[in-house]
Amino acid sequence: MFAIQPTSAEPIYRQIVEQLRRLIAGGQLTAGELLPSVRDVAGFHAINPMTVSRAYGMAETEGLLDRLRGKGMAVAATTRSSATQAQRMALLEPQLQELARHTQELELPAEAVLRRLGRLLEE
Amino acid sequence: MNAVLRSVTDHRAAPLAVQGLTHGYDDGLVLDGIDLALSPGSVLGLIGRNGAGKSTLIRAMMGLLKPQGGHAFVFGEPALTMSDHAKARIAYVPQQPEALAWLTAQQMFDYVGRFYPAWDAAFAKSMLRDWDISPNKVLGKLSPGERQRVDLIRALASQPELLVLDEPAAALDPVARRDLLREIALRAGEAGTTVLFSTHIVSDLERVASDIAFLHAGKLLLQCAVDETKERFARLWLPGAMSAAAPSDTLGQRRHADGSLSVVIERQPDGSWPEATRLPGARVDALGLEDLFVEIAG
């Protein structure tokens, strides 16, 4: 369920936490839903189980996940499946900044980029 | 678990450790005072360019080579005089295995399996099938790649507490490589196996290694947790006009054709980047391990 890029400058445990934040904020993961076990995630991606545990642990500390005795990790009950718009917007901020930077580097007019983005969002 | 450098000071507790290891050949020093210790359950990826001395270091660590200076310890015992008890707890796969060439894979497994208390014959059998190796062909007639695969299976089937692999990826196709990485990752994470593997394929290491060590010009330039390395180092680009203000004493420094300068910078103790990142025109890039390696060793 996670998209892992080992060569990214972003450590794998952060990639997992970031994706959990997004999946939960976007409602793809709902409260109470069980996550795949550390072993399954580690085995599937051939990554170190300690990395997955670390990510799950961090998500638990953030209140995204609850540890269920004997069952593993589940999406926290307190996490509303749809976070506020501002919270969801904040998750998109890094990509927006990246897009703005590329736009400036390519010296493209803002209107053209916004028009194209608008069309993509309508699809 | 934290990202702080997990150094083991008590060499008796470390599955594998070297102190002040120095070794050279006719054309100079290959290892120049190497200190290294693996903590139990860690997976250390040893990176270095071809000829950096990775195999020499590993052979010295395994007690197969008497270093000109320094000491190597396996489970606290001097590597050169390791007991049979310690030998039964480790598995080492050289780059070019040559032993027992007159046996078939199956015969070799039947033979060496007797020396290992935890030998997993079923695993060995299914891996031979998965990795497409005939169990009844004499080892001497296998290709070098097949030969190393047989030896990797032998090493994994012995369920060692310490697994040492010299360039294991070279002989494997992408699917088999992923199988091997999965085995390494799960054994370290679940059985607490300590693993050392050398490679020049950085992406393999990024999946499974908990720690990395860069071997360059006979010295270990960096020994650090993988996640911490990615968070702690970055590349700073400075335009030519600003390059005089570059921090000195950095791990890597490169001048580019347009006069600009790139240096590897490290976060300060408070987590911030050095002063020079706030110079006009300065740009900070996050670095993957491969980029970092190239910046340092390139």
Q: Which residues of A touch B182 (CB under 8 A)?
A: 43, 46
Q: Which two tokens stand for residue A101?
A: 């930077």
Q: Please compute Rg for chain A using Cα positions.
A: 17
pLDDT of residue B280: 82
Question: How many secondary structure helices (H) and strands (E) does chain B include?
Answer: 9, 14
Q: Which residues of A touch B203 (CB under 8 A)?
A: 6-7
The topology (CATH level 3) of B16-228 is: Rossmann fold (3.40.50)
The residue that leads in pLDDT, B223 or B194, is B194
Q: Which two tokens stand for residue B14?
A: 């470390």
B103 CB burial (10 A radius; 0-12, 13-18, 19+):
middle
Question: How many secondary structure helices (H) and strands (E) does chain A include?
Answer: 5, 2
By C-alpha distance, the chain A residue nearest B228 is A11
B151: Cα within 13 Å, side-chain hemisphere: 29
B33 Rama class: left (phi>0) / alpha (psi -120 to 50) / beta: left
- Round to whole Å and give the CA distance between B58 and A112: 57
8 A C-beta contact, residue B283 and residue A104:
no
The topology (CATH level 3) of A12-75 is: Arc Repressor Mutant, subunit A (1.10.10)
Contact at CB, A7 and B182, closer than 8 angstroms = no
By C-alpha distance, the chain B residue nearest A52 is B189
Q: Is the pLDDT of residue B4 over 50?
A: no
Chain-centroid distance of CA A98 in Å reads 16
Nearest to A46 among B178, B230, B285 (CB): B178
Q: Summarize pLDDT for B49-97 with one digit per residue, the tens.
A: 888 889 999 999 999 999 999 999 999 999 999 999 999 899 999 988 8
pLDDT of residue B223: 85
The residue that leads in pLDDT, B280 or B249, is B280
Q: Is the pLDDT of residue B2 over 70?
A: no
8 A C-beta contact, residue A45 and residue B207:
yes
Residue B206 to chain A, least CA–CA distance (Å): 6
Map out the domains of chain B as residue ranges.
16-228, 232-297
B181 CB near a chain A CB, below 8 Å?
yes
Of the residues B6, B211, B230, B293, the best mutation for testing chain A's interface (the one with the most A CB atoms within 10 Å of its CB) is B230
pLDDT of residue B196: 96
pLDDT tier at B244 (50, 70, 90 boundaries)?
confident
Contact at CB, B189 and A49, closer than 8 angstroms = yes
Residue A9 to chain B, least CA–CA distance (Å): 4
pLDDT of residue B10: 56
- Round to whole Å and give the CA distance between B150 and A14: 36
How open is the CA angle A100-A104-A105, to the nearest 5 degrees? 115
Nearest one of B154, B185, B151, B182 to B168, comparing CA atoms: B151
- Round to whole Å and give the CA distance between B165 and B291: 24
pLDDT tier at B282 (50, 70, 90 boundaries)?
confident
**DSSP secondary structure, B20-50, as one string:** EEEEEETTEEEEEEEEEEEPTT-EEEEE--T
pLDDT tier at B7 (50, 70, 90 boundaries)?
very low
**Residue whose entry in the numeric block shows the structure tokens 């002040």:** B20
Residue B88 to chain A, least CA–CA distance (Å): 25
pLDDT of residue B1: 35
**DSSP secondary structure, B156-170, as one string:** HHT--SEEEEESGGG
Nearest to A9 among B182, B188, B288 (CB): B288
Residue A6: partners with Cβ closer than 8 Å, 6 or more residues away: A12, A47, B203, B206, B207
By C-alpha distance, the chain A residue nearest B288 is A9
- In this structure, the strands spanning B90-93 and B162-166 are parallel
Query: Which long-range contacts link B217-223 to residues 24+ away (Cβ below 8 Å)?
Result: B217/B32, B217/B52, B218/B29, B218/B30, B218/B31, B218/B32, B218/B34, B218/B53, B219/B32, B219/B33, B219/B34, B220/B34, B220/B35, B220/B36, B221/B251, B221/B296, B221/B297, B222/B251, B222/B296, B223/B5, B223/B7, B223/B36
- Round to whole Å and give the CA distance between B238 and B260: 6
- Round to whole Å and give the CA distance between B33 and B23: 8
Q: Is the pLDDT of residue A48 over 90?
A: yes
Average pLDDT on A68-76 reads: 88
Residue B140 to chain A, least CA–CA distance (Å): 31
B203 CB near a chain A CB, below 8 Å?
yes
- Strand partners of residue B285: B235
By C-alpha distance, the chain B residue nearest A58 is B1
Q: Which residues of A touch B288 (CB under 8 A)?
A: 7-9
Q: Which two tokens stand for residue B164?
A: 């040492």
3-class state of residue B71 by DSSP: strand
pTM of the model: 0.82
- Strand partners of residue B266: B233
Map out the domains of chain A as residue ranges.
12-75, 85-122
Burial B6-19 (b: 16+ CB within 10 A, else e): bebeebeebbbbbe
